[in-house]
Amino acid sequence: MKLVFEDLIVFENEDYILINKPPRVASLDERTTDRGGQSILRLAKAYHADAQLGHRLDKETSGILAIAKNPEAYRHLAMQFEHREVTKRYHAITNGVHNFEGISVYLPISPIKDGTAVRIDREHGKVAETIFNTLQAYRTTTLVECMPVTGRMHQIRVHLMCLKAPIVNDPTYGGKPVFLSDVKRNFNLKEGTEELPLIHRVALHAHSLTFALLNGEEQTFEAPYPKDFNVLVKQLEKFA
């Protein structure tokens, strides 16, 4: 499906564009081009020639993404990321029922498998820290707020695995799919039909981003849940 960049924008001024990135769209151009050949960077540059991504999200992850419209804005945001002055809040649906209250996971990370995944590596890994809070516990799953202090690849996913709370539908880190039969009592599947998962990707959404604009004003930008994540949460709430 062809994306219209303007439809993704949640905020824009002379320096920044904040978008709600859809799932399954790469932030940067991939080595193997998508069937549609779309990436957020390519779409952003078509909209504004000097656009640069301030950070990136995994291809499967949806949510808020900051794009700088000029070099000064890019440097300003990059320095805030470097000094860990940007607050990122993600929402994840995890397998299992968990009660996290400001739980901090401080475990170093190294890439494995030709850079497509990561592992905890206490000896040679790079420092990584994430703080977790339970937002809502359901029958077999939990909606968790994840606040990465550092910005390592797959950091939230591997840290949740360490808490025995892998993200739903994240097989790389032990996450299992969730079916309606898991959450709805007395669920009857029609004979001869195969039950499909309630979400078909890693259940992770970048919910908000807080940083200072060039005038020094700190602002928080939020991205509403995309359809698939919203449907999952609604079903979990309905049968909680």
Q: DSSP per residue over 23-48, as a string?
A: TT-BSS--SS--SS--BHHHHHHHHS
Which of 50, 58, 114, 170 is flagged as catalytic? 58
**What own/partner pairs with CB < 8 Å and gap ≥ 24 does 132-136 have?**
132/100, 132/102, 132/103, 132/104, 132/105, 132/159, 132/160, 132/163, 132/165, 133/100, 133/101, 133/102, 133/103, 134/98, 134/99, 134/100, 134/101, 135/91, 136/237, 136/240
Instruction: Quickly list DSSP for 172-204.
Output: GGTPPP--HHHHSTT--PPTT-PPPPS-SS--E
Query: Annotated catalytic, 121?
Result: no
Task: State phi, psi for 41 to the nearest 5 degrees.
Answer: -60, -45
- CB–CB of 226/22 below 8 Å? yes
Catalytic annotation, residues: 58
